[in-house]
Every structure is written in C-alpha cells, then in structure tokens.
Amino acid sequence: MPFPERLSSGYTTFIEGRFDRERARYQDLAARGQKPEIMVVGCCDSRVSPEVIFDAIPGELFVTRNVANLVPPYQPDGDLHGTSAALEYAVQVLRVKHIVVLGHAQCGGVGAFANESEPLSPGDFIGKWMSMIAPAADTIPGEYRNRPDYQRRLELASVENSLRNLMTFPCISILVERGKLQLHGAYFGVATGELLARDPQTGSFEPVCDVVGGARSMIRCD
C-alpha cells in the first residue's frame, strides 16, 4: 500500500516551509539534544494536539498521549507501563520543571466509561484502561449521574485523579515537595477553544484567558 498522500503532501509543505525556516533550530536540537521544561500528558484524540494548542516550537514540550489523558498510579510490578516510562524519563533524565495533565471536552474515553459502553473487542483494552477513572467517578455525588453535565464533571475529576496519581511516583513527589517540580491541571474546550487551568489553592478550573464574542468567539489574553 502506498504511503498516505495526505502525509506526503503535508511533509512536503513542512520540509519546504517550517523546517527550512527553522533549520538552525533543528540542527541545534540534533546536536545538543532536547531540554524541554514542560511535560504535557494529553489525550490521543486527534482534535487535541498540545503542540497546536500551546503554539509550541520544536523541542519546547515533552508530550505523552494516551486514551483520556490518564496517569496511572505508581506500580513497579514488572509489567509494561508506557505512560509511567515517559514520566520517569521526563523527570529523571530531562529534569522538566512542570507536568501538565491536559483534559478536554467530549472525550471519547471518558464518555465510554460514563455510558458504560460495551467492549469494542474481546480484549477490551479501552474498558480496562478506563477503569482507572473509577476513583474520579467516586468523587462525584450520585445525583449528578444522569445530568447533562455529568461527563464534563467526570472529565475534570479525572484530571484531578491523575494529579493525585502523579504524587504516588516517588521521583515526582520528592521533587514537588522540594519545590523543583510543579504539577498542573488544564482542560481544553474543543468547540470554543477555551483553556481552563486548575487553581492549586481552590481546586477550581478557571479560564486562562477571557473568551469574548458569540458564535465566532475570540480569546483575549492580557
């Protein structure tokens, strides 16, 4: 099968445009290695690219993505743990200063958990993975279960749960307690473009910027 034409044409645009303009930066990254200060744990949803949302340049963000942007608890059990390996590398090797758990609206993984969807395959990889969200669901009062905003509440609660799970990693909790590493929660509105950031004092998610306007809203950051 031929390589997807969309990717071929996109690469051509990249190599003749951005890469050509930023060739020196790429060469420097190749020679010196990466030194990002921020790690983002994001969802693999195609609509929520951290590099696009934060307008990042090459080498600026260390990103790991999985279904529903989940951070598992620390489990040194000998099994294979992709997200945990990425966290370990970011903290122990790259020495990042910030870890951001980036949730988002209309998350398919959270929706599958909230709606108790049937397994997609005999292995039910998604169902087993999403079982990690159960502690987050337990923090939401039962009366919200059938309300229209239940999934949004669960998406936000899941970010909170992942932040708690981050603190179960000794290499992370030690650095946080020493003030050398900061943990952040954030939430992106796919339809609106609004970004919410978690206030570490109150636990509430507040807009990073003001969103003004109607259907064609604009975002203003002062």
The tens place of each residue's pLDDT in the chain, 222 residues long, gives 899 999 999 999 999 999 999 999 999 999 999 999 999 999 999 999 999 999 999 999 999 999 999 999 999 998 989 999 999 999 999 999 999 999 999 999 999 999 988 988 899 999 999 999 999 999 999 899 889 999 999 999 999 999 999 999 999 999 999 999 999 999 999 999 999 999 999 999 999 987 554 434 444 454
Which H/E stretch holds residue 119?
none
Q: In this predicted structure, what is the pLDDT of residue 215?
A: 39
Contact 68, 162 (CB under 8 A): no
Q: In this predicted structure, what is the pLDDT of residue 211?
A: 57
Q: How many CA atoms lie within 13 A of 52 on its CB side?
A: 9
- Cα–Cα distance for residue pair 89/120, rounded to 1 Å: 32
Contact 70, 64 (CB under 8 A): no
Contact 196, 101 (CB under 8 A): no
Tell me the C-alpha to C-alpha distance, in Å, between residue 155 and each of 82, 134, 140, 179, 201. 21, 12, 11, 28, 20
Edge-to-edge strand ranges of the sheet holding 195-198: 61-66, 38-43, 98-104, 182-188, 195-198, 205-207
DSSP label of 69: G
Q: In this predicted structure, what is the pLDDT of residue 120?
A: 86
Catalytic amino acids? 43, 45, 47, 104, 107
Q: In this predicted structure, what is the pLDDT of residue 1?
A: 85
Count the Cβ atoms, other than its own, within 10 Å of residue 118.
8
Domain ranges of the chain: 1-33, 34-220
Count the Cβ atoms, other than its own, within 10 Å of residue 4.
9
- CA 86 vs. chain centroid, Å, equals 13
Domain with residues 34-220, CATH architecture: 3-Layer(aba) Sandwich (3.40)
Give the angle subtended at the CA of 175 by the CAs of 132 and 94, to the nearest 5°.
85
